[in-house]
Amino acid sequence: MKATLDLSQLTKIPRVLGAGLATYDGFIVDSQFVHGYDSEKFGAMAAKIMTQIQKSLGPESGAVILYTEDVVFLAKLKQEGILFVLGDREANLGLIKIKFEKM
């Protein structure tokens, strides 16, 4: 897989902590994260979540948004792999989602 996505479109958004592209097995192809965040952990998590969604709902492309008390996590199946982004709870989710969907 070749990383053809410009992750800086996501990481330039205020309060976004990082973004990445992982293989369907969870290995990182490309990532841009702030210090202290483990892109490999989030790539593996995105792959696991998307694999379970595919098993349950079918092979079509899909996306997921997860919220916790502190962060919001988005993951999406792409031809290049699994695109994921992590933002803090104050991040502009609408803007992130718009940029995320255009990628």
Residue 33 lies in a domain: yes
Residue 67 lies in a domain: yes
Number of domains in the chain: 1
Task: Summarize pLDDT for 19-70 with one digit per residue, the tens.
Answer: 999 999 999 999 999 988 999 999 999 999 998 888 888 767 678 999 999 9
pLDDT at 1: 46
The CATH number covering residue 36 comes to 3.30.450.30
Residue 97 lies in a domain: yes
Q: How far apart are CA 63 and CA 41, in angstroms?
A: 18
Residue 21 lies in a domain: yes
8 has a pLDDT exceeding 70: yes
Residue 3 lies in a domain: no
3 has a pLDDT exceeding 60: no
Overall pTM > 0.85: yes
pLDDT at 74: 95
**pLDDT band for position 4 (50/70/90)?**
low
Domain of residue 13, residue span: 8-102
